[in-house]
Amino acid sequence: MTPAPGLKALSTLLMLAAVWLAVPAWAAEAIDVRIGAAHFPPYTVRPEQGADTGLLPQLVEALNRLQQDYRFVLVPTSIQRRFGDFQQGRTDMAIFENPAWGWQQIPHHAVDMGLEDAEVFVAKQVDNRDQHYFDDLAGKRLALFNGYHYAFAGFNSDPNYLRKTYSATLTYSHDSNLLMVQAGRADIALVTRSYLSDFLVRNPASGNQLMASTRIDQVYHHFALLRPGAPISDQQLTALLRQLRDNGELARIFQPYRIAVDAPRD
């Protein structure tokens, strides 16, 4: 039986209304931006174990509160695996990076985050030891984090090279490296200023036992690296970070760890 013309018109209007109502919900659905989360304390702490501590989860939360177009999500990776995950599209962004840390041959767009940290040398505090102790690394036993790129070694992270050239002990724990120095089982450890600050808060008794260098191995001027074809552009990410800088969120997250929050370089 053919529907009455009026009933048919009403049915069509209802269908159109349903489509019209559905469009805003569909259009408002956030687009996922996958951020590679590699263990890099205090920025990212054991993400492969499901930990949500560190500065990166706080930054992601602030980005997601700021807007609704994108949903920033963490994808656990590792220091060594992050390059392949990025190239193969498992992640859209590598963060708290430096383009010189092995990214030279990997296509990417770099976004200056306007955040600066520094890698410092740390030795045991002993009588008559001063800052000149850090002038020459020859003959000193170094405690290093496996996979990290250090300026004093020409950014060569090869474990065999570091062991042979610098008598290096390589670990996956900055705490272990600092405690090795404190116990006299290594002469110098390298950690970021932010990590040392956090370590001394957690281990106040170490403040009188460890000495940090005024010599800086490298300044960490942090970048976010976006893969070509990422769902967010470098201009869009730059704008979001600018808003977080202007509203004080970046300072709230990073300054307690002695990480400088500045305007990006031109």
What's the CATH code of the domain at 192? 3.40.190.10
Q: Is residue 229 part of a domain?
A: yes
Q: Are residues 107 and 227 in the same domain?
A: yes
Q: Are residues 55 and 129 in the same domain?
A: no
Q: Are residues 160 and 215 in the same domain?
A: yes
* pLDDT score recorded for residue 102: 86
Q: Are residues 205 and 245 in the same domain?
A: no
* pLDDT score recorded for residue 240: 97
For residue 62, what are the domain limits? 30-117+220-261
Q: Are residues 139 and 212 in the same domain?
A: yes
Q: Are residues 55 and 126 in the same domain?
A: no
pTM, rounded to two decimals: 0.75
Q: Are residues 202 and 137 in the same domain?
A: yes
**Residues near 217 by Cβ (< 8 Å), separated by ≥ 6?**
118, 119, 120, 121, 150, 151, 152, 190
Q: Is residue 131 part of a domain?
A: yes
Q: Are residues 211 and 244 in the same domain?
A: no
Number of structural domains found in the chain = 2
* pLDDT score recorded for residue 131: 97
3-state secondary structure of 198: helix
* pLDDT score recorded for residue 15: 47
Q: Are residues 129 and 201 in the same domain?
A: yes
* pLDDT score recorded for residue 69: 96
> H-helix or E-strand containing 168?
none
Q: Is residue 166 part of a domain?
A: yes
Place of tokens 């950690």: 191
What's the DSSP call for residue 34?
E
Q: Is residue 4 part of a domain?
A: no
Residue type, 105: Q
Using CA atoms, how far apart are residues 44 and 58, in angstroms rounded to an integer? 10
* pLDDT score recorded for residue 100: 84
| Block mean pLDDT (10 aa), the chain, length 266 | 50 46 52 93 80 86 96 92 95 93 92 94 96 95 93 93 95 95 97 92 93 94 95 96 96 92 75
Q: Are residues 85 and 209 in the same domain?
A: no
| CB-based burial label for 225 (10 Å; 0-12, 13-18, 19+) | buried
Q: Is residue 10 part of a domain?
A: no
* pLDDT score recorded for residue 5: 52
Place of tokens 């000495």: 211
Q: Are residues 202 and 225 in the same domain?
A: no
Antiparallel, parallel or unpaired: β 142-145 and 188-192: parallel
Q: Is residue 38 part of a domain?
A: yes
* pLDDT score recorded for residue 51: 59
Q: How far apart are the first and last CA of the chain?
A: 72
* pLDDT score recorded for residue 143: 97
